[in-house]
Amino acid sequence: MRYLLVDRILEWKTGEQMAGVKNVAMTEDFLEFHFPRNPIMPGVLLLEALLQLAGWLEAASSDFQRWFLPHSVRKCMFYGFAHPGDTVELEVRAQAAQDPSRRSFEGVCSVLRTKRVVAEFEGEAIPLAHVEDPAEQQRMFHLLTRRGPMK
């Protein structure tokens, strides 16, 4: 099973930052058991949404030649929950990495401008073609940014 956890990309600055949203719907299958009668989006999936957004930033910044592959989470703080009906605001910012082959990011998930997750993570940029079809990912990016279908 694969979760696509970025529902819309709102803005980005090439190589620097990207903002998007994840809408938490009551029909999400992970809510069925997390937790019965008190559904919340698992914190690790909020972190995964940030990692995916970093992937989109790397792809958009490289003309869909690269994708971000995470290796480690240096720091992750959880401050609250995301419930069904919430719109989770996602933001990632590229940080300076000591090694030029590495990528480093800081990410924040918020609901109504209240922090839910703050994380710092790093990894590497890999060829997008090693994990996905670049043309298909570019089409998906156009849908996520509401730029319409690519011709």
Q: Write the pLDDT tens digit of every residue in 41-85.
A: 999 999 999 999 999 999 999 999 999 999 999 999 999 999 999
What residues are labeled active site?
A: 34
Range of the domain at 114: 18-144
Dmax over CA atoms of the chain, in Å, equals 47
What percent of the chain is predicted at pLDDT more than 70?
Answer: 97
Q: Tell me whether residue 50 is in a domain.
A: yes
CATH number of the domain where residue 103 is located? 3.10.129.10
Q: Tell me whether residue 61 is in a domain.
A: yes
Q: Tell me whether residue 1 is in a domain.
A: no
Q: Tell me whether residue 10 is in a domain.
A: no
Please state the pTM of the whole predicted model: 0.94
DSSP letters along 79-125, please?
-----TT-EEEEEEEEE--SSTTEEEEEEEEEETTEEEEEEEEEEEE
Q: Tell me whether residue 56 is in a domain.
A: yes
